[in-house]
Chain A
Amino acid sequence: MSSSFDFTVVDQVLSANNNSSQYIIAILQDIQEHYRYLPREIVPYLSEKLGMSEAKIYSIATFYENFSFEPKGKYVIKVCDGTACHVRHSTPVLEALWKELGLSKEKHTTDDLMFTVETVSCLGACGLAPTMMVNEQVYAAMTPEKVLAVLEELRGRG
Chain B
Amino acid sequence: MIKTQNELSIARNEAVKILGSYDCRILVCSGTGCIATGSNKIYEIFADLVRETPGVTLEFAPHDAKEHEELVGVKKTGCQGCCELGPLVRIQKGERVVQYVKVQPDDCKTIFEKSVLGDEIIESLLYHKAGEAFVRPDEIPFIAKQTRMVLENCGHFDSESLDEYIAAGGFKALEKAMFEMSRDDVIEEIDKSGLRGRGGGGFPAGRKWKQVASQKEPVRYVVCNGDEGDPGAFMDGSVMEGDPYKLIEGMMIAAYAVRAENGYIYVRAEYPMSVSRLKLAIKTLEERGLLGDNIMGTDFNFHMHINRGAGAFVCGEGSALTASIEGNRGFPRVKPPRTVEHGLFDKPTVLNNVETYANVPKIIEMGADWYRTIGTENSSGCKTFSLTGAIENTGLIEVPMGTTLREVIFDIGGGMKNGAEFKAVQIGGPSGACLTKEHLDMPLDFDTLKKVGAMVGSGGLVVMDESTCMVEVARFFMNFTQNESCGKCVPCREGTKRMLEILERIVAGEGRDGDIELLLELAETISATALCGLGKSAPSPVVSTIKNFRHEYEAHIYEKRCPAGACQKLKRFYIDPELCKGCSKCARQCPVGAISGKIKEPFSIDLEKCIRCGSCISACPFGAIKEG
Residues of chain A having any CB pair with chain B under 8 Å = 21-26, 28-29, 59-60, 63-67, 78, 81-88, 120-129, 131, 133, 136-141
Contact = CB atoms under 8 A, between A and B. Distances in A.
28 contacts: A21-B327, A22-B327, A26-B307, A29-B310, A59-B329, A63-B329, A66-B310, A67-B310, A67-B311, A78-B270, A82-B232, A83-B231, A83-B462, A84-B231, A84-B462, A87-B464, A87-B468, A120-B270, A122-B233, A123-B270, A125-B234, A126-B234, A126-B394, A126-B460, A127-B82, A127-B387, A138-B32, A140-B33
B511 interface: no
Interface string B15-39: 0000000000000000011011100
B7 to A, nearest CB: 32
B36 A60 contact: no
Nearest to A121: B231
B429 to A, nearest CB: 7
A124 B311 contact: no
Nearest to A27: B327
Interface in B322-355: 324, 326-330
The DSSP consensus for interface residues of chain A is mixed
Contacts of A81: 231
A83 B426 contact: yes
Interface of B: 32-33, 35-37, 82-84, 86, 228-234, 237-238, 269-272, 307-313, 324, 326-330, 386-390, 394-396, 426, 429, 460, 462, 464, 468, 473, 476-477, 480, 484, 486
A87 B312 contact: no
A29 B486 CA distance: 20
Contact of A124 (B84, B237, B426, B480): B237
Contacts of A64: 309-312, 329-330
Contacts of A122: 229-234, 270
A153 to B, nearest CB: 14
B396 A127 contact: yes
B310 A65 contact: yes
Nearest to B315: A64
Q: Which of B32, B324, B480 has the most CB of A within 10 A?
A: B32
B480 A60 contact: no
Given A66-B269, A125-B33, A25 B324 contact: yes
A127 B394 CA distance: 5
A140 B389 contact: no
B328 A66 contact: no
B308 A29 contact: yes
Contacts of A123: 32, 270
Nearest to B330: A63
A68 B202 CA distance: 36
Given A63-B330, A82-B232, 5 more contacts: A60-B327, A122-B229, A122-B230, A124-B228, A128-B36
A23 B232 CA distance: 30
Given A128-B37, A136-B272, A121 B307 contact: no
Contacts of A29: 308, 310
A28 B327 CA distance: 11
B32 A25 contact: no
A21 to B, nearest CB: 6
A125 B241 CA distance: 13
Contact of B84 (A78, A87, A128): A128
B311 to A, nearest CB: 4
A135 B429 CA distance: 26
A90 B555 CA distance: 26
B1 to A, nearest CB: 26
Contacts of A131: 36
Contacts of B233: 122, 124, 126
Nearest to B429: A83
A83 B460 contact: yes
Nearest to B468: A87
Nearest to B484: A121
A83 B231 CA distance: 6
Contacts of B426: 83
Q: Which of B37, B83, B232, B307 has the most CB of A within 10 A?
A: B232
Nearest to A65: B311
Given A83-B426, A140-B36, A127 B84 contact: yes
A63 B327 CA distance: 12
Closest 3 CB pairs of A and B: A127-B83, A82-B231, A64-B310
Nearest to A129: B388
A131 B33 CA distance: 10
Nearest to B230: A122
Contacts of B329: 59-60, 63-64
A140 B230 CA distance: 19
A65 B312 contact: yes
Nearest to B467: A87
B500 to A, nearest CB: 15
A126 B232 contact: yes
A30 B313 CA distance: 21
A64 B394 CA distance: 31
Nearest to A61: B310
Nearest to A64: B310
Contacts of B464: 87
A31 to B, nearest CB: 12
Contact of B229 (A26, A85, A121, A133): A121
B395 A127 contact: yes
Nearest to B568: A91
Contacts of A124: 32, 228, 233-234, 237-238, 270-271
Contacts of B234: 122, 124-127
B617 to A, nearest CB: 16
Nearest to B314: A63
A124 B237 CA distance: 7
B273 to A, nearest CB: 8
B239 to A, nearest CB: 11
A125 B270 CA distance: 11
Contact of B326 (A22, A26, A121, A125): A22
Nearest to B241: A124
Nearest to B273: A136
Contacts of A60: 327-329
Contact of A139 (B36, B462, B486): B36
A9 B308 CA distance: 20
Contacts of A121: 229, 231, 313, 480, 484
Contacts of A21: 327
A86 B476 contact: yes
B32 A125 contact: yes
Given A124-B234, A125-B32, A128-B33, A87 B83 contact: no
A63 B315 CA distance: 11
B271 A66 contact: no
B331 to A, nearest CB: 8
A131 B19 CA distance: 36
